[in-house]
Structure 1
Amino acid sequence: MVAKEHLLALKNRILPPGAGPVIELLSQHHQQLEMTSIILEHVPLIIIGRHGMIARLPIDGRITKLSQPPEILTSLQRFFESEQTLYVFINLPEIQFPAAVTEVIREVEERVQKRDELMRQIDEALERRDRGAFLRLAQSLAQLEE
């Protein structure tokens, strides 16, 4: 089984045209997926690469090769009606974020952690009925959120 979060993290990579709906469908059926690092023969398989997708799915009792996103999506929908395992091979590069964007993301994460810590401390001050600590912490929280 593949973690749903792992599949949704693929959206942070450069997806080929038409792969978005396929990734969404795969994430809905993550319990039927198995990641593979090699391309397997004679098993249900989808390969998602930088320039496109290829699926080998059982259609009318035979493994059929599909390469167009609409036909892959339709065939996958039919495939997931069964309880079979689909093997997934991913070959996608990560999106490279500029250093400035990475820095902003890090700062936002730090602010969220600080806010969560202040909220925890405010709850503790309320439980202790410490009015002074509560007011000081509430003011710090207000400043952080400005």
Structure 2
Amino acid sequence: MIAKEDILSLKAKILPAGADQILDYLVARHQQVELTHIVLENVPLLIIGRHGMIARIPVNGVLQKVSQPAGILELLHAFFQKQETLYLFINLPDIPVPSEVTQVLQEVQARALRKEELRRLIDRALDERDEALFYQASEEWRKLTSSDN
């Protein structure tokens, strides 16, 4: 079984046309979906790649292969009527994040880590009754929180 969050996180990748509605459908049936890291043979399988999708689903004992989103949804509707497991193979790149965004995220993370460190320092200063350390850490804390606003 795959978690709903894992399926929804796929939306943060570059999806082929029609994949978003198929992922929405899979979220509702996540307890019947298993993520695989290899392409399996002779099992119900949905492959989502950068340039398209293909579903290999058994229908009346014959493995049907469909690559169009409407056809895939139709096969999935029929497949999920049975209580079988669908294997999902994903080969998608992440959406590229501009370096400016990455830099801002790193700065925010560094500030958050520093705030946590200052909080521990303030607690330690209070425990040890270290007035100088308390005032120094409190002032830096005040500057960090005022720059956040």
SS where residue 77 of structure 1 aligns?
A: helix
Unmatched segments (≥5 aa) in structure 1: 113-139
Aligned to 1:71: 71
* Cα distance in 2, alignment partners of residues 104 and 4 from structure 1: 29
Q: TM-score of the superposition, structure 2-length normalised?
A: 0.70
1:58 equivalent to 2:58? Answer: yes
Spell out the pairing of 1:52-131 with structure 2 (5 A cutoff): 52-105=52-105
Identity %, equivalent residues: 52
How many pairs were matched up?
A: 129
* Cα distance in 1, alignment partners of residues 28 and 109 from structure 2: 28
* Cα distance in 2, alignment partners of residues 86 and 96 from structure 1: 29
Compute the displacement of 1:103 (Å).
3.9
Compute the displacement of 1:85 (Å).
0.2
Whichever residue aligns with residue 32 of structure 1, its letter is: Q
CA separation of 1:60/1:50 partners in 2, compared to 1, >3 Å: closer, same or farther? same
Q: TM-score of the superposition, structure 1-length normalised?
A: 0.71
Q: Per-residue CA shift, 1:99-138, capped at 9, x if unaligned?
A: 22234456678999xxxxxxxxxxxxxxxxxxxxxxxxxx
Aligned to 2:19: 19
Greater Cα shift, 26-35 or 44-53: 26-35
Q: Per-residue CA shift, 1:81-105, capped at 9, x if unaligned?
A: 1110000110001111012223445
Aligned to 1:37: 37
SS where residue 46 of structure 1 aligns?
A: strand
Whichever residue aligns with residue 83 of structure 1, its letter is: Q
Q: What is the RMSD of the two structures over their aligned residues, measured on CA atoms?
A: 2.9
* Cα distance in 1, alignment partners of residues 9 and 28 from structure 2: 14
SS where residue 20 of structure 1 aligns?
A: helix
